[in-house]
Structure 1
């Protein structure tokens, strides 16, 4: 909104829906993170796995983690805005994705050299889950995701792209429950429902924005078409050649003057 990439009119209902939907989505994400509630007894979750996750949670650092996640959210928001601004002057999604990945690779290598100085074992490649995670994050999460993100951002704007970010928490909670047998609490389920409601409000507001912008384009086009006949008539009149009528000699003499 501050970068003039998104139009917001407080007096219109669809703009209010976008604002309220964004707040509701953020609230649902905080609800999933901070409030647990009673544990849901699901048949595919074993009790031993629950004790393992609870014991591992005692060694976590919630304050440091919250600070790092907040910094990451602001950095990601700045990256989205910068990508949207860049696409206006450089509308080539594929080459822009290649440049983003190249710069990210160079920066990652510099950070790895600084943090793992003298430890050559971290650069060894093995056919294991670490290699699969690196390839998947590079090809899918970076390459394909940035390209699709740029294409959607050109047509629908950065708000439409980032509106689906809280939905990733819902997908992660579902898959971690099935694949990793992670404990699912009632607070996370309620937070997921709140996120879906907020996402629906944002998408509804964006759809109304798209409809109103299309109507404005059609109105401007019809006004331009109405002006074309008037311009043609003016052109015809201005191109008419003047003649001089000589009554004494009964001759018509054309002149070189034009109206």
Structure 2
């Protein structure tokens, strides 16, 4: 692979580590009682203040004119990838736990791959070895992440007990009972089911975001500007939702632990992660970028062991090995496809050059 592809792969691996840290830190902030919409609003406004000037100065000479169609597409990115995606993930974290939230991530590469096939971004030829490798790699990733969730096994690195499945209770933090999803409990849904529904919605929004972003980057390759515009529209929607959903100004005040979570979420989980993800999407494509999401259970388990004093179990280790193996298989399949396309293009170019070479030139060369 070329240098840019290698850097993009390393960037996506770091993204999953940062995302695992976000799950852990955010869960602590949510337990402290921070309002979900307020949290998302602060993190995206902070990220916007970082991304907007950087995108303006670095891409002002390379940015193409923005059409109405492009602006609407960027709005959809902000709605799917920022507004709906983040709120659904936070709600899922509130009602479940970081490990379960990370265990839902394997649905993202499957949904993204199906969307990119429908959009014509990716191709799948099951007759060829590369097509079979793609399917096999995706299924291996999903199997590894699923194994981490359903099979815990003995503790390899023992620490304090950590419950993968939280104990059902009617006692939730005050911020949760007043949130936009609390009304669902009146219809018989308990907190666990609400969390699962939200995490499924988060996976769907992420898949749509990555696939749509891949299409936009083909016509508008200014990746920093795409990220900044997404953050802008997402922030606008969150501010409007926050003004209508909060009851008083006290909801917007932060205690030190919440401020720390907002800083990490804004600088690392939004500005840095979204920028790296968009840049990698331009190089690798949405399907391969989404393949890194199953690494989040590995990162979440590792960071939970450090900061939440949980144990690392055998299932996490075996699942992590399967995830990395599946990711390598898909990466290798994509590499073989790109090499095959380059070879076909080179042969086609040679034939075209030979056909357009003047007949007199070929004859004179032969006589000489």
TM-score higher than 0.5: yes
Q: TM-score by structure 1 length?
A: 0.78
With over 3 angstroms needed to count, the CA separation of the structure-2 counterparts of 1:101 and 1:231, relative to structure 1, is farther
- List per-residue Cα deviations over 1:19-64 (Å, max 9, x = no partner): 111112112212212222333453xx2xxx32xx449921374433
Task: Report the counterpart of residue 6 of structure 2 in structure 1.
Answer: none
Task: Report the counterpart of residue 165 of structure 1 in structure 2.
Answer: 293
With over 3 angstroms needed to count, the CA separation of the structure-2 counterparts of 1:80 and 1:41, relative to structure 1, is closer
* CA distance in 1 between partners of 2:212 and 2:245 (Å): 28
2:221 to 63, 71, 91: 91
Matches within 5 A, 1:157-236: 157-230=285-358
Matches within 5 A, 1:69-148: 69-116=199-246, 118-126=247-255, 128-148=256-276
* CA distance in 2 between partners of 1:55 and 1:197 (Å): 24
| Structure 2 residues without counterparts, runs of 5 or longer | 1-116, 170-190, 362-368
Task: Report the counterpart of residue 147 of structure 2 in structure 1.
Answer: 31
* CA distance in 2 between partners of 1:87 and 1:224 (Å): 30
Task: Report the counterpart of residue 240 of structure 1 in structure 2.
Answer: none
With over 3 angstroms needed to count, the CA separation of the structure-2 counterparts of 1:230 and 1:17, relative to structure 1, is same
Tell me by how many angstroms 1:169 deviates.
Answer: 1.4
SS of 1:221's partner is: helix
With over 3 angstroms needed to count, the CA separation of the structure-2 counterparts of 1:176 and 1:205, relative to structure 1, is same
Conservation of the 8 A alpha-carbon contact between 2:294 and 2:323? yes
* CA distance in 1 between partners of 2:277 and 2:157 (Å): 38
Task: Report the counterpart of residue 249 of structure 1 in structure 2.
Answer: none
Conservation of the 8 A alpha-carbon contact between 2:168 and 2:192? no
Conservation of the 8 A alpha-carbon contact between 2:152 and 2:313? yes
Task: Report the counterpart of residue 19 of structure 1 in structure 2.
Answer: 135
SS of 2:357's partner is: helix
Deviates more, 1:167-176 or 1:136-145: 136-145
SS of 1:8's partner is: coil
With over 3 angstroms needed to count, the CA separation of the structure-2 counterparts of 1:41 and 1:152, relative to structure 1, is closer
- List per-residue Cα deviations over 1:70-113 (Å, max 9, x = no partner): 11111100011111111122221111111011111112222323
More helix, by proportion: 2
Tell me by how many angstroms 1:231 deviates.
Answer: 7.8
1:57 to 159, 162, 166: 166
Q: TM-score by structure 2 length?
A: 0.56
| Structure 1 residues without counterparts, runs of 5 or longer | 234-259
* CA distance in 2 between partners of 1:10 and 1:198 (Å): 17
Tell me by how many angstroms 1:173 deviates.
Answer: 1.0
Tell me by how many angstroms 1:232 deviates.
Answer: 8.1
SS of 1:57's partner is: coil
How many residue pairs match? The answer is 225
* CA distance in 2 between partners of 1:197 and 1:55 (Å): 24
* CA distance in 1 between partners of 2:151 and 2:334 (Å): 30
